[in-house]
Chains A and B, each alone.
Chain A
């Protein structure tokens, strides 16, 4: 029988799975788990697929070009012979050339006007492209700022509740200045991990927070530390919340995307007892 933590760990994989973003190892492991017939995960997946499939309903509906339906149905009728798909009609070069040949001679100012027109259109396209890029950059900056505000609000939200548990994390390397803290709200299991002076991780790695319970390491979540910030906060959800159930926390450096068990050396650690 699966423990609550194992179930939590599998359910955590459902969201990246439906978005097609599990790494091959985790995906294989998760699909093997599904083959064991876990009804809870199957139900979760079904609900998640259903939920994200609502997003296309926000778009304006538009029928595809009328020929497509017939093309698909023709393909079904002749499916066994597997003919190549009907190519989209392309302009017949011979026809174009013939019409050019037959055209009456043009005066030079007509050709000059056409060239001027083309140059004008090209300049206009460059101008529009530039404007669109600027708008896109501003939109990205705005999203960035909104994300930062939201993050701060989340952190404050956790720190402001009446009952918050705190655990200090000490570094395991005598030469390092790094330290950290975990703040968490036992009831809702929301947590904020703060790390200070941890070195920036390489591009293919990520720091990962673990919760220690009954001498086992339970996956909590991954976060990044970059060179620009020495003081990093990350919001996470714990598998269990009550202090008496938690023996401690640890932070390791893992392959990007996280691991199911710690594989790197422990960077920071703290024990509740």
Chain B
């Protein structure tokens, strides 16, 4: 099962690299394929960060337009194409939240708020139809059960809400060193994922 999941992920990574090369040569069908594959991942992801369907839609729009316009900016140090898209989506969604918060300071409007996951939606897997990385996503979910609640919470606060380690230390009233150690340990556990194992020399 794990081998199949890993093979599935590696196959996706190879196809994505090929799609990106075609996008760099202005092949619109390649972008449409990449969109069909990943928009269902990054739309709820942007929704989780911004808490707004409309803004999440804007984020996905901006990400794929950027991939089209600046596909050459991808570098191997960004990880796989999927990891790069995830980083772009996160950055754009957090930018929208920051802009909204700044605007809110000058008006009575409501700022964007991260959307809390619905019960059984996150971590448990729920009953959803997984559209991409099906087997691999299940492997990842199983593996993440190794993370303690605190490790996962710290990673989520940093990842989805853009909290710095110092912010977390202040907010949770625990020493910065402990936060750093916990996050490092949490990330270390994430790195045990099958595709990560396969990438190590």
List chain A positions with a Cβ less than 8 A from chain B. 15-16, 18-21, 34, 42-43, 45-65, 68-69, 71-73, 75-77, 79, 85, 88, 136, 143-144, 146-148, 150-151, 154, 193, 206, 221-224, 226, 232-237, 256-257
Contact = CB atoms under 8 A, between A and B. Distances in A.
B78 A51 contact: no
B165 A193 contact: no
A222 B176 CA distance: 6
Interface in B151-172: 153, 155-156, 158-160, 162, 164-166, 169-170, 172
A201 B170 CA distance: 12
Given A19-B164, A63-B131, A224-B170, 12 more contacts: A15-B180, A46-B77, A49-B83, A55-B160, A59-B41, A59-B48, A69-B32, A76-B28, A143-B172, A146-B149, A148-B174, A224-B166
28 contacts: A45-B79, A46-B83, A49-B87, A51-B191, A53-B79, A54-B190, A56-B89, A58-B123, A59-B41, A59-B45, A61-B129, A64-B39, A72-B31, A73-B32, A76-B28, A76-B65, A85-B61, A146-B149, A150-B148, A150-B178, A193-B177, A223-B176, A224-B166, A224-B175, A226-B173, A234-B177, A235-B175, A257-B166
Interface string B44-87: 11011000011011001100110011000000111110111011
B128 A151 contact: no
Contacts of B91: 20
A57 B200 CA distance: 21
Interface string B89-121: 101001000000000000000000000111001
B146 to A, nearest CB: 12
Contacts of B180: 15, 221, 236-237
B87 A73 contact: no
Nearest to B157: A143
Nearest to B75: A42
Contacts of A136: 116
Sort chain B's interface into a size bin.
35 or more
Given A50-B79, A76-B31, A57 B140 contact: yes
Given A50-B79, A56-B45, A150-B148, A77 B28 contact: yes
Nearest to A86: B61
A51 B144 CA distance: 11
Interface of B: 28, 31-32, 35-36, 39-45, 47-48, 53-54, 56-57, 60-61, 64-65, 68-69, 76-80, 82-84, 86-87, 89, 91, 94, 116-118, 121-123, 126, 128-133, 136-137, 140-141, 144, 148-150, 153, 155-156, 158-160, 162, 164-166, 169-170, 172-178, 180-184, 187, 190-191, 193, 195-196, 199-200
Nearest to B182: A150
Contacts of A146: 149-150, 153
Contacts of B133: 57
A185 B130 CA distance: 45
A21 B176 CA distance: 14
Contacts of B128: 60-62
Contacts of B43: 62-64
A253 to B, nearest CB: 14
Given A64-B57, A146-B149, A55 B175 contact: no
Given A59-B122, A151-B174, A52 B166 contact: no
B104 to A, nearest CB: 17
B190 A235 contact: no
Q: Which 7 A-B pairs have the closest CB atoms?
A: A234-B175, A49-B79, A53-B86, A51-B190, A234-B177, A53-B83, A236-B177
A104 B123 CA distance: 53
Contact of A150 (B64, B80, B132, B150): B150
Contact of A144 (B141, B148, B172): B172
